[in-house]
Structure 1
Amino acid sequence: MQRRRFSQILASSLAAPALLGPSLAQSQQRVLLRAGDQKGGLQALLDAAGELKNLPYDIKWSEFPAAAPLAEALNADAVDFGIIGDAPLLFTLAAGSRVKAFAASRSDAYGTAILVQPDSPLKSAADLKGKRVATNRGSIGHYVTLKALDAVGLSADDIQLRFIPPAEAKLALTQGSVDAWATWDPYTALAETSKHARVLVSGRGLWTGLSYLAATESALRDKRATLQDFKDRVARAQVWSYQNPDSFSATLARIIGIPEEAAKLQFVRRATHWVSIDEQVVADQQRTADFYLKAGLLKQRLQVSNTFDAGFRNKA
């Protein structure tokens, strides 16, 4: 059943519109990058900044609702690379996936948060004891939940975790089927601006804010120069976006189909910037892996230094 469900998600995701060259004959002679995106984030960024114009290669975009199905697509070699948070990347690596992170970004962690209904009596993480909390298994929402509980002396055994996708989790919170929902932007910003939820616990001080571009071994070997060019375009586009917040927010809202107010809120507060894969990034990722080991979600210690490809230059 689970394999069939993933196949359905993957089939619909791979049917997403592709940005292709001017002719089929030409595109057959060009490198094709199969890009995995989450909620249109990368595509919106590059499109708004004009970095998708006059590409020397073609891009086929596949959009996923969360990191878990994107990670499965990477593991199945259905996409060449994708954007993924630090915690979900650890899970797919621990499961034997042969992918590596080749670019890293840091963001303000506020938007990765535990949400409750506006009139909920819950006031802090300690109040989650015995409550029903929805999130995606292995997501950064899952991670922030565990970290928030740990900070107040609780563990996953002290709550009732419900592993369901974002759209279903939002409905469950609205209808009162769960007491809290651990998620990330743009879902957090959408819930806040629509007044459907409030932040009980934010990710600040709990999560590193690290996300990555991760690619398959074959893509890193065969499409390395193309991945480098893509990485450079993303870095330039990120700089442009913060110089033109109104223009970018409008494009982001249009591409991912959310109100412009929510798009701008989640974009501005994230303050995303691309960084070198240095000792600090590796150390932060190791601490996250070690926490998952402590929490019992990893069966053995993962040496994260082996899961990075630091051979890509970092420039805007």
Structure 2
Amino acid sequence: MSLRVGYFPHNNSLFVLRHLGILERALPDVEWVDLRELPAPPDVDVKTALPSEHSDWLFTDGGYDVIGTGFTPPLTALANNRDIVYLGISGPRVENGRLVATAASGITSAADLRGKRVGIAHGSWQTTLLLLALDRVGLGWNDIEPVDVDVRGGGNALLSGDLDAWVGTYPGLRDVEAATELVTLVDTASLFSHPSLWFTRRDLVDDNPDAVSAVLSALAEADAWIIANPREAAKFFVDDANAHGLPADLDAWEAALRGRPFGINPVTEEFLDEQQAAADLLFANGLLPKTVDVRSAALPWLGAAV
């Protein structure tokens, strides 16, 4: 059986695993699917919905069987009736990014964002971070103007004044820090643990648990390699960016990787509590079509396997 693994640079672990050949030792027929080459999903209204591309691709013949993402996509999948299962989570990535504004804007807290344009990579962990930040000061999604931007484009838009605030992520955030003085409106650590996570379809777990175990083992080995070889790992990202015509700095990528927690861990009750609270808040703000039970996607034996 061929196992299709979706990857892209934003999930550092799977992206490096794609380059190391570790998984192929256990699964010679593994197929790597570059998510950037899949058809673009239909546009969604950033005010009223979350994009569902991760769950859609997970359940199509042209998509993939296993994926690693940030905090929000599995919630979108569950709310769109996708029968997914969590495979594991990373440690907290609270240093990975934060909600910022320029010092010149006069914006000093999330409470100042009413009616403001805030840039996020909509559908990623950034949507959850922004909504949690707003909720903490008594604001909701309809109180701001969310703008869907990519990581680098968001930084440029903040500098040009096209955005009033932005959820920035390293290494792209480093360029903006070098260009102007920033104010941190909300850090990540005070809101949620922000792990990477991996998930798949329940039928794959039921029908091919050995393949699932092989993926978990390979991820653990690749993450150990990243920890031991951060500069060599950073070069994979720089080379990929250059191949796509984008600038990338090796030192910045190495620093970003050194600051992130690697290693795959079992899904915890604390993580599930965070997921459930986020899902409830997303639904209450009109971004999910239905309420979800995140614990339906957690299998105890997978925790033991991790």
Q: TM-score, normalised by structure 1?
A: 0.76
The counterpart of 2:276, out of the listed 283, 286, 289, is 286
Residue 57 in structure 1 maps to residue 41 in structure 2: no
Measured after TM superposition, the shift of residue 81 of structure 1 is: 1.2
Distance 1:125 1:297 in 2: 20
Distance 1:86 1:195 in 2: 29
Residue pair 1:220, 1:227 contacting (<8 A) in 2 also: yes
Counterpart in 1 of 2:295? Answer: 305
When structure 1 is superposed on structure 2, of 165-174 and 129-138 the one drifting more is 165-174
Measured after TM superposition, the shift of residue 314 of structure 1 is: 5.4
Distance 1:47 1:138 in 2: 24
Matches within 5 A, 1:13-28: none
When structure 1 is superposed on structure 2, of 125-134 and 107-116 the one drifting more is 107-116
Counterpart in 2 of 1:76? Answer: 60
Counterpart in 2 of 1:264? Answer: 254
Residue pair 2:192, 2:274 contacting (<8 A) in 1 also: no
Residue pair 1:232, 1:314 contacting (<8 A) in 2 also: no
CA deviation profile, 1:249-307 (whole Å, cap 9, x unmatched): 33343345431122123212222332112333322322222332343434543111111
Counterpart in 2 of 1:221? Answer: 206
Report the AA paired with residue 58 of structure 2.
L
Counterpart in 2 of 1:159? Answer: 144
Residue pair 2:72, 2:128 contacting (<8 A) in 1 also: yes
Residue 232 in structure 1 maps to residue 217 in structure 2: yes
When structure 1 is superposed on structure 2, of 290-299 and 222-231 the one drifting more is 290-299
The counterpart of 1:177, out of the listed 156, 162, 175, is 162
Structure 1 residues 47 and 88, CA gap change in structure 2 (3 angstroms): closer
Distance 1:220 1:145 in 2: 33
Report the AA paired with residue 74 of structure 1.
L
List alignment gaps of at least 5 residues for structure 1: 1-30
Distance 1:256 1:138 in 2: 22
Measured after TM superposition, the shift of residue 146 of structure 1 is: 1.2
Structure 1 residues 54 and 160, CA gap change in structure 2 (3 angstroms): same
Counterpart in 2 of 1:38? Answer: 8
Measured after TM superposition, the shift of residue 198 of structure 1 is: 4.1
Measured after TM superposition, the shift of residue 124 of structure 1 is: 2.4
Structure 1 residues 281 and 207, CA gap change in structure 2 (3 angstroms): closer
Measured after TM superposition, the shift of residue 232 of structure 1 is: 0.9
- What do you get for the CA RMSD once the two structures are aligned? 3.1
| SS at structure 2 position matched to 1:83 | strand
Measured after TM superposition, the shift of residue 170 of structure 1 is: 4.1
The counterpart of 2:132, out of the listed 147, 152, 155, is 147
Q: TM-score, normalised by structure 2?
A: 0.79
List alignment gaps of at least 5 residues for structure 2: 41-50, 243-247
Report the AA paired with residue 308 of structure 1.
A
CA deviation profile, 1:190-225 (whole Å, cap 9, x unmatched): 544x63784633312112223321112343234321
Residue pair 2:93, 2:261 contacting (<8 A) in 1 also: yes
Report the AA paired with residue 4 of structure 2.
R
Measured after TM superposition, the shift of residue 84 of structure 1 is: 1.7
The counterpart of 1:86, out of the listed 68, 71, 88, is 71
When structure 1 is superposed on structure 2, of 144-153 and 264-273 the one drifting more is 264-273
Structure 1 residues 190 and 214, CA gap change in structure 2 (3 angstroms): farther
Distance 1:120 1:280 in 2: 36
Distance 1:42 1:111 in 2: 14
| SS at structure 2 position matched to 1:110 | coil
When structure 1 is superposed on structure 2, of 182-191 and 228-237 the one drifting more is 182-191
Report the AA paired with residue 219 of structure 1.
L
Paired residues in the alignment total: 285
Structure 1 residues 231 and 208, CA gap change in structure 2 (3 angstroms): same
Measured after TM superposition, the shift of residue 230 of structure 1 is: 1.4
Residue pair 2:88, 2:303 contacting (<8 A) in 1 also: no
Distance 2:14 2:266 in 1: 22
Structure 1 residues 196 and 224, CA gap change in structure 2 (3 angstroms): farther
**Percent identity of equivalent pairs:** 24
Distance 2:255 2:180 in 1: 15
| SS at structure 1 position matched to 2:299 | coil
CA deviation profile, 1:85-113 (whole Å, cap 9, x unmatched): 22221012101122221222223223232
